[in-house]
Amino acid sequence: MFSKSRINEPGPKQPVEAEKPKAPEAAPVSKPASAEMAATAPKAKPPASVLSSDLTVVGNLKTSGDIQVEGTVEGDIRAHLLTVGEGATIKGEIVADDIVVNGRVVGRVRGLKVRLTSTARVEGDIIHKTIAIESGAHFEGSVQRQDDPLSTSGAQPRPAAPAKPAVAAD
């Protein structure tokens, strides 16, 4: 891309460069080209946040980016892409656009695209738009397809219903 613009512009640039012998002005000539490229090209996506295998998190995690969990999380996770490593354990609800489970999840899984690999161990309900379960994956719970699985409507009442009558009976 840069070579084409330099090839097409040598005629006009030579007199301009002759008029601009100053080094500081020569550097900005190359910077706007990179700035133009950055403006036209989509920004590079930041790498996923990685929670290492020796890390235990107690609490909820929320990001618009990607998370790769290799350790233990006791709490809910909301992300764009969530990858659960083979040695990872998550105890809580997972909500993400794209979810890949290689490890253990105890809790509800809600995602547009959910994939359980052969090493996955899931104990809880899965609400999804699309799902893939590889041979060898262990799953205990129910699977429900929804057009908008990230919506919280309809997901909340299930745990509260049994608890209220039990408290009222005491």
pLDDT-derived band at 11 (thresholds 50, 70, 90) equals: low
Q: Which two tokens stand for residue 93?
A: 């609800």
Cα atoms in the Cβ-side hemisphere of radius 13 Å centred on 138: 9
* pLDDT number for residue 150: 87
In the predicted model, is pLDDT for residue 4 greater than 90? no
In the predicted model, is pLDDT for residue 13 greater than 90? no
Across the range 11-37, mean pLDDT stands at 50
Give the distance from CA 100 to its chain's centroid: 10
SS3 for the chain is CHHHHHHHCHHHHHHHHHHCCCHHHHHHHHHHHHHHHHHHCCCCCCCCEEECCCCEEECCEECCCEEEECCEEECCEEEEEEEECCCCEEECCEEEEEEEECCEEECCEEEEEEEECCCCEEECCEEEEEEEECCCCEEECCEEECCCCCCCCCCCHHHHHHHHHHHHHC
In the predicted model, is pLDDT for residue 159 greater than 70? no
Of 114, 78, 112, the C-alpha closest to 97 is 112
pLDDT-derived band at 48 (thresholds 50, 70, 90) equals: confident
